[in-house]
Amino acid sequence: MTGSIYEDIFKKLVKSGYRGNMPEEIEKIRQEGDQFTDDYLLYASGGGEPDRVVFKIKDCNNACGDDEKDCQASCLFNAIVRDMEGNVVIQQNNCAGCGKCVEVCRDFSLVDKKEFIPLIELLKDRSVPVFAIVAPAFIGQFGPGATPGKMRTAFKRLGFYGMVEVALFADMLTLKEALEFDRHVTKHDDFLLTSCCCPIWVSMVKRVFKDLVPHISPSVSPMVACGRGIKHLHPGSKVVFVGPCIAKKAEAKEPDIKDAVDAVLTFREVEQIFEAVGIKPAELEEDVSEHSSRAGRIYARTAGVSRAVEDTLNRISPGRDLKIRAKQADGLQECRKLLKEVLEGNIDANFLEGMGCAGGCVGGPKALIAPGLGRELVDSYGDEALSQTPVDNKYVMELLKQLGVEDIYEFLDNEKAGMFIRKF
């Protein structure tokens, strides 16, 4: 059993789910499989413990050796240990569900749960509107011809009611974080840790650098904001997040925010779904619907959040004496190093951004193109936006009005805006 065979099982389940002959296909897979097939079938079809993301299929006997890229070394939270025979043991109490161990496992002993199969009947009968919300990193991931408008058509072909760019709600959070900075950073030694985007960064602060928790900006991630926003506008709907990150599967299950998103798919899984049902996004017609500003679109790469918040702060408070002095951490080790420096008082920044993947979300483990190209395409897409900041984005202003916010400076204190607030 190899990783490619595991993906092949997932594609066969998708194809049979749309055809309506999944029980027969499962029996065929079992007959052709080995002793691990039932476990792969279970997790490929969305089974297993509901609040877990990462599962061990088989013992690996330390096949990776002791290099720095094995699963134990990749885990920042001491969730991976080995028994006396060298086999991997996942300590669930420590596991943050970040998926780094899955990313580096060369023996394919560790897998992340697929969450698409239970959605197929819902998408086929269309009794409930199901929205696909796509991470800002999506641009260019499915080929140079797969424009945002064509991707929207592709998701509708799968049965989704529509596709929404999470970048629109990244705009909302950009405005919120700029206002938070304006309110709370008033002295030279004040600072904020942005809580947007990266669940690995947030988990590291909460689990390892707990003394810094009071400095986290009280914002949900753009994924959560988008899910809650859609459900507010379309009561009874379901929301599926699509992005490059395994860790988002764990974030979506956290008790205080699990109301926002019903399932998470990675770019790699969506690529496999398209292949299974014969959808080629680049060959489809355009369904154009642009709502996000440059600020929200550049969230997908390292320093994007900082730039977005800085530009927005300069827009709403151009005469402010104390400007943003931003510093970014790019990748796991830099995140750890930056937070340690903050604890030791060895940093002069007042806005700190951490990305668990090198390059930002464009460098996520399930991205389909190289991080450098991803960043380039994200920046180009940002440059094409009709507005530069959320303050200039008429769609953001319309959403705020639907929440009862007539003046942007009321955003932080508006009761309905509580959907964008998270208590750490």
Residues in the chain: 424
What is the structure's pLDDT at 2? 46
381 has pLDDT over 90: yes
284 has pLDDT over 80: yes
State the total domains in the chain.
4
Identify whether residues 229 and 362 lie together within a single domain.
no
| Mean pLDDT, rounded, for 382-390 | 96
Residue with tokens 């205080």: 256
Identify whether residues 253 and 355 lie together within a single domain.
no
In a domain, residue 52? The reply is no
Distance, in Å, from the CA atom of 154 to the CA atom of 208, rounded to the nearest integer, reads 41
| Mean pLDDT, rounded, for 382-408 | 92
Identify whether residues 123 and 255 lie together within a single domain.
yes
Identify whether residues 212 and 235 lie together within a single domain.
no
Identify whether residues 266 and 329 lie together within a single domain.
no
What is the structure's pLDDT at 65? 59
CATH number of the domain that residue 274 is part of: 3.40.50
Q: Where a domain ends, among 283, 299, 334?
A: 283
What is the structure's pLDDT at 88? 82
Least confident range of 18-22, 83-87, 116-120, 171-175: 83-87
What is the structure's pLDDT at 288? 86
67 has pLDDT over 70: no
In a domain, residue 241? The reply is yes
In a domain, residue 51? The reply is no
In a domain, residue 321? The reply is yes
Identify whether residues 376 and 314 lie together within a single domain.
yes
116 has pLDDT over 90: yes
What is the structure's pLDDT at 60? 72
Least confident range of 92-96, 270-274, 340-344: 92-96
Identify whether residues 263 and 380 lie together within a single domain.
no
| Mean pLDDT, rounded, for 20-44 | 93
Identify whether residues 182 and 268 lie together within a single domain.
no
Mean pLDDT across the chain:
91
| Mean pLDDT, rounded, for 155-183 | 96
In a domain, residue 24? The reply is yes
61 has pLDDT over 70: no
111 has pLDDT over 60: yes
Phi, psi torsion values for 385, nearest 5 degrees: -60, 145
CATH number of the domain that residue 89 is part of: 3.30.70.20
In a domain, residue 145? The reply is yes
What is the structure's pLDDT at 414? 78
106 has pLDDT over 80: no
What is the structure's pLDDT at 144? 92
What is the structure's pLDDT at 402? 86
Q: Could you tell me if 267 and 138 are in contact, meaning their C-beta atoms sit under 8 angstroms apart?
A: yes
Domain containing residue 73: 58-113
Q: Could you tell me if 299 and 306 are in contact, meaning their C-beta atoms sit under 8 angstroms apart?
A: no
What is the structure's pLDDT at 1? 42
Pairing of strands 130-134, 80-82: unpaired
What are the pLDDT digits (tens) for 292-338? Answer: 999 999 999 999 999 999 999 999 999 999 999 999 999 888 999 99
Identify whether residues 150 and 278 lie together within a single domain.
yes
In a domain, residue 92? The reply is yes
Q: Is the dihedral of CA 415, 417, 420, 424 positive or negative?
A: negative
Identify whether residues 8 and 128 lie together within a single domain.
no
Distance, in Å, from the CA atom of 232 to the CA atom of 217, rounded to the nearest integer, reads 23
Q: CA dist 38 to 48, 163, 388, Å? A: 12, 33, 50
Distance, in Å, from the CA atom of 183 to the CA atom of 190, rounded to the nearest integer, reads 11
Q: Could you tell me if 128 and 240 are in contact, meaning their C-beta atoms sit under 8 angstroms apart?
A: no
Between 139 and 54, the more confident residue is 139
Identify whether residues 405 and 334 lie together within a single domain.
yes
| Mean pLDDT, rounded, for 247-263 | 95
Identify whether residues 273 and 251 lie together within a single domain.
yes
| Mean pLDDT, rounded, for 167-189 | 94
CATH number of the domain that residue 316 is part of: 3.40.950.10
In a domain, residue 50? The reply is no
Least confident range of 40-49, 103-112, 312-321, 345-354: 103-112
What is the structure's pLDDT at 165? 97
| Mean pLDDT, rounded, for 362-375 | 96
